[in-house]
Amino acid sequence: MTNSKLSDALYMTDNEVRAGRPCAEDAESLTDRILMASWDLLLDIGFEKFSFDKLAKYGRFGKPTIYARFSGKVELLRALLMLSIETTSRGFFESVADQHIDKAIPSLCADGVEFFHSPEGRLKDRLIDWLDLETDDNAPSMRGWTLKDGLEKISALLKGACEREEVTISDIDTASLFLIEGIVGHARMTSVEDQFDREKHILWASRYWAMIRQAFAVQS
């Protein structure tokens, strides 16, 4: 899809949307643009003040265009948060994919702590709690979904390290849970720093990982 076509799709009037709906490719791109504009607006005004009226004005979308894809604020923000968390976590893990596990784990921890205390990270954490309060009881927990996403990626990382014989882990699932809970707890207990001290968090994570590695080592 060319930029000119995307621009045309983005700035169609509501009457034009109803008269000639975009093709599947255009609709998917438009949904992505709505989500991108939503995140920019959230960073600017916070989710408490976020509304479809403000999003329509900010992104130059017609409100019917937004409602055609999302039934309301909760549904849009849930989709946005899931996409954002998946994209962010995938980037973290891809950045350490070629590292030895003894370097990868501390690096992930430092990246996670730095992100957790960033404006984007703080917004995501608050948004998770808000969505879990606002969402229907039958809907899956965002906090639980976030944990599951992290566990799957940590488990895959440890499994790969075991296959490369960098480490032996007797129970990958439980070791992954200990790692996730430890890193998240460390991030929450760490005060916001004027200047991020990466080496301090690398050192903490190296020691924590050494403890986990020893506790879950395969006994010969």
- Signed CA dihedral, 107, 179, 207, 115: sign only: positive
58 and 123 part of one domain: no
CATH code, domain with 49 = 1.10.10.60
Does pLDDT of 116 surpass 50?
Answer: yes
CATH code, domain with 210 = 1.10.357.10
Distance of alpha carbon 108 from alpha carbon 182, whole angstroms:
12
Q: How many domains does the chain have?
A: 2
Mean pLDDT over residues 120-142, rounded?
86
- Residue 49 DSSP class: S
Q: Last residue of some domain: 54, 70, 86?
A: 70
Query: How would you label 156-190 residue by residue, b for 16+ Cβ within 10 Å and e otherwise?
Result: ebbeebbeeeebebeebeebbbbbbebbbebbeeb
87 and 156 part of one domain: yes
Does pLDDT of 181 surpass 70?
Answer: yes
Domain extent for 12? 1-70
Q: Give residues with Cβ within 8 angstroms of 86, minimum separation 6.
A: 149
The pLDDT, as a whole number, for residue 193 is 66
150 and 183 part of one domain: yes
DSSP codes joined into one string, 99-133: S-HHHHHHHHHHHHHHHHTSHHHHHHHHHHHHHHH
26 and 89 part of one domain: no
Taking a C-beta distance cutoff of 8 angstroms, is the pair 162, 169 a contact? yes
pTM over 0.75: yes
The pLDDT, as a whole number, for residue 8 is 38
| SS3 category, 191 | coil
Label residue 135 by pLDDT band (50, 70, 90).
Answer: confident
Does pLDDT of 23 surpass 80?
Answer: no
- Alpha carbons within 13 angstroms on the beta-carbon side of residue 40 total 12
Mean pLDDT over residues 15-34, rounded?
58
64 and 76 part of one domain: no
Lowest mean pLDDT among 7-16, 22-31, 44-53: 7-16
5 and 61 part of one domain: yes
Label residue 28 by pLDDT band (50, 70, 90).
Answer: low
Q: 198-215 and 172-189 are packed helices; what angle lies between their axes, rounded to 10 degrees? A: 150
The pLDDT, as a whole number, for residue 191 is 75
Q: Last residue of some domain: 10, 36, 70?
A: 70
Mean pLDDT over residues 196-220, rounded?
92
64 and 16 part of one domain: yes
Does pLDDT of 2 surpass 70?
Answer: no
105 and 3 part of one domain: no
Q: Last residue of some domain: 70, 103, 125?
A: 70
122 and 220 part of one domain: yes
CA distances from 3 to 10, 31, 69, 88, 213 (A): 10, 15, 21, 25, 50
